[in-house]
Amino acid sequence: MLKVVVLGADGRMGREVVKAVLREEDLSLVGAIDTRNHGEDIGTLVTGTPCRVTVAGNLGRVLEETCADVAVDFTTPDSVRQNLSIILKHRVNAVVGTTGLSEKDIAEIDRHAAEANVGVVIAPNFAIGAILMMRFAAEAAKYFPDLEIIELHHDQKLDAPSGTALKTAQLIKEKRDSKKQGHPNEHENIPGVRGGQLDGMRIHSIRLPGLVAHQEVIFGGLGQTLRIRHDSINRESFMPGVIMAVRKVVDLKGVTFGLEKLLTE
């Protein structure tokens, strides 16, 4: 049985991870880390039923006392770097859903994970449907090179564009030649109205209350358009991917970036 510690356990995503881990017979929740509700039973907070795991603030101590196998981090970009430093120091595998890490951050994490002989899965999106959406979009870009990406998230999301949008653009970049889209004399009457740009692709970020996580890739061709869209209606949509990553990360070494790498193994 894999022993799991959840960081950000009392947050929106953390609560879903706690519930998901508690449901699985081969996983054991042994630690819950958060900045609030210290000493409270995380099971009572999340499901109304105690699970004998209390919320704590000292990550290092929890990892030592529980001999955890996997730590799942859904905190913030400001916290995840320090959290991973502690996790890898204790030679614990990690699953990271926090976005905002730079390529330099990931390279450094990969080096430390390799030195600790543990695995780290970092994924911009844990919804399996979103992974398939990205895969289909990359395939379509070979035939429809003109496209725009629109990503929509709740208004409490801190980074823009989303990690999923960036990952989609990177996958598409591997499949098509670079090109600048639109009219060469195009002019923005309002700066930024055409969105951001990566390798000629336009990326638009929408932040509104009521949204969870949504993305649409619109392709344009002669006399036709193609739309590929994925919608996460609630945060439960990410849990099958999280649980899959928790089970597989213990057999990995170094950083695995993107849930799609686990779907092919």
Phi, psi of 150 (to 5 degrees): -120, 120
CATH of the domain at 172: 3.30.360.10
Pair 222, 154 in one domain: yes
Q: Give the range of the structural domain holding residue 149, as residue numbers without chain letter.
A: 128-233
In a shared domain, residues 76 and 110? yes
Query: What letter would DSSP give residue 122?
Result: E
Let me know whether 160 and 189 are in one domain.
yes
Task: Give the pair of three-digit tokens for residue 24.
Answer: 């699985």
HSE, CB side, 13 Å, CA atoms: give it for residue 83. Answer: 29
Task: Select from 230, 232, 256, 231 the least CA-distant residue to 244.
Answer: 256
Say which of 153, 204, 214, 230 is annotated catalytic.
153
Residues 179 and 242 in one domain: no
Full pLDDT tens readout for the chain, 265 residues: 999 999 999 999 999 999 999 999 999 999 999 999 999 999 999 999 999 999 999 999 999 999 999 999 999 878 999 999 999 999 999 999 987 788 899 999 999 999 999 999 999 889 999 999 999 999 999 999 999 999 999 999 988 999 899 989 999 999 998 888 888 888 999 999 999 999 999 999 999 999 999 999 999 999 999 999 999 999 999 999 999 999 999 999 999 998 988 986 5
Q: State the pLDDT at residue 76.
A: 85
Expressed in angstroms, the distance from the first to the final Cα of the chain is: 21
Q: State whether 151 and 258 are in the same domain.
A: no
Torsion of CA 103, 200, 204, 8, to 10 degrees: -10
Out of 157, 173, 253, 261, pick the active-site residue: 157
Same-domain check for residues 116 and 247: yes
Tell me what pLDDT residue 264 has. 67
Are both 135 and 87 inside the same structural domain?
no
Q: Is 153 a known active-site residue?
A: yes
- Cβ atoms within 10 A of the Cβ of 163, count? 19
Specify whether 22 is located in the same domain as 116. yes
Question: Are residues 157 and 175 both part of a single domain?
Answer: yes
In this predicted structure, what is the pLDDT of residue 183? 87
Do 116 and 16 have their domain in common?
yes
Task: Please return the burial class of 227, using the count of CB atoms within 10 Å of its CB with bins 0-12, 13-18 and 19+.
Answer: exposed
| CATH code for the domain in which residue 27 is found | 3.40.50.720
- Catalytic site residue 261? no
Do 145 and 76 share a structural domain? no
The answer to whether the bond into 77 is cis (omega within 30° of 0) is no
For residue 103, what pLDDT is reported? 86
Number of structural domains found in the chain: 2
**Is the domain of 111 the same as that of 158?**
no
Q: What is the pLDDT of residue 71?
A: 98
